[in-house]
Each structure stands twice: as structure tokens, then as C-alpha cells.
Amino acid sequence: MTRYIGKHRKVSNTSKKQFAGAAALALGASTLGIGASVATASEASAAPQLGSSVAAPSLPPQIAQLQADFDAQLRQAQANGVTALLNARDALVAQAKNLPPQFRTPVIQGIDNFVNAVAPGALQQREAARAPKPAPKPAPKKQAPKKQARPASNPCPASAHACVDIKAQRAWLQKGGKRSYGPVIVSTGRPGQETPRGMFTVTRKVKDEISYEFGNAPMPYAVYFTNNGHAFHQGTTNVQSAGCVRMNGEAARTFFNYLQPGDKVYIY
């Protein structure tokens, strides 16, 4: 007979004693040195399971006492609730693991059958909670930001409209600090007649200029940036100048059209 109390079924005393007898038989066979005789008995007749109508075999006094102790533990664990019952189950399973192989599996199975009958689903729920959780998926690796090409070093101030790099022999036009034309190849002053360095201002422009100082040498598209005759103008770029900034015809025309009096020129 089985009757229900609360959420868990209470196993009848007859079933509990049948299960306790089977477990006690196996435990006694291991701990009291009578394994041979009990093994023979168990092989001849399968151990009764919870709810079986087969009576437990006749036991020696020592095993009968073990049966009584085991039966008392089951009743006490059941009375103390599900947690106590599961703890008692764990202790009995730990003992059963020390039994000879022929007793180990049926005894553990009998213990679990008893727990499942008294508290259906409690053992499975606890074991599921104890199961190791799958390792979290590794976070996707962040891609390193692509390195952007470093802008070429430009010491020319943003306020300058024209820039000249004497060391590199290059010149360019810019607007708001951004290059708008160039760089182009130039030639600057030779030693002793160096092109001056610093910030200057466009003073005037002469399209068809000539140099009276140098025998009326042509200086097309002259854009003066000092009062001492220094200017951008068209001329050869493979020979150093007397201080002007010379460039080819296309570049000279572009500088001439872009630069206006008052514009800044930076030379470094």
C-alpha cells in the first residue's frame, strides 16, 4: 500500500524493510566477512527491490541488526525532509561504492529507487543543479583598429598660404592648413645668397618681370614676399638661385594666380 502526504509519497513499512534487507545483506557481506555465503545466496535469488513482494532471505544476527539500523536511518531521514533524505542517500551510496562489484550496482540502484519513491524528482533535480555548466563562449576578439597612415609632418602654420621646405627643395600651396597644390620641386638660394627663412607677406606680383640686377634676366610670374627682391618665379630648378624660389612654368603660374598681396608665406 502507498499513501500520499504533502507532495511526496510515503513508502509502506513492508517495502522499506524489504529494501533495507537487501542493502543490509550486501553491506554485511562486505564488512562482516561472510561475503562468500551471501554472494551465493544473492546469485541464487535476486535482491528484492523497493515494492517487491519477495521476502528478504534469512539473515544472521549481525546482518539482522545492520538491517534494523539501516531501516531506522531511512525512517529518520524521511521524517526530516527531502534534504535530509538526499544527504542520507549520499552517505549510503558512498558506503556502497566500497562493496564488492557483484553487490555495488544493485545496492546503489536500490537506494536511488527508495529516494525516487519517497521524493519523486528530487534526486534528478539536485543532480541537474550539480552538473557542471557549459563553459561560456569566449567573447569575440576585438579587432585592432586599423592603423591610419600618419600624415606627413607639416610644420607650416595653417595661416600660411604658401610653404617652402628648403631642405627638401619643395614648395606647396595650402588653404586652412590643408594642401591645395603641390608639393612641387623648387630651387632656393646658394650658400652666401640663402633664401631667408620665416614668415613673410606677399607684397606685390609682376607677371612679366625681369631682373635688372642680373642683366635683365627674365622672372616670369614673380610673386614678391620681401622688400629685398625675394620672389617666387619661373626658372630652372637644377641650379641654385641668388635667393629667390624658382619653379617650373606650370607651378609658377599656379602660385601667381593663387597668391594675393597680404597672403602669408612660410619658409623653413
244 belongs to the catalytic site:
yes
Return the H-helix or E-strand segment holding 233.
strand 231-234
230 belongs to the catalytic site:
no
Tell how strand 231-234 and strand 217-224 pair up.
antiparallel
Q: How far is CA 183 from CA 186, 205, 211, in A?
A: 9, 21, 26
Look at the chain and count its residues: 268
Query: Phi/psi at 102 (nearest 5 deg)?
Result: -70, -15
> Omega of the bond prior to 120 within 30 degrees of 0, cis?
no
CB neighbours (10 Å) of residue 211? 16
C-alpha grid cell, residue 183:
608639393
Catalytic residue among 156, 161, 163, 244: 244
Contact indicator for 115, 123 with CB cutoff of 8 Å: yes
Catalytic positions, written as ranges: 233, 244
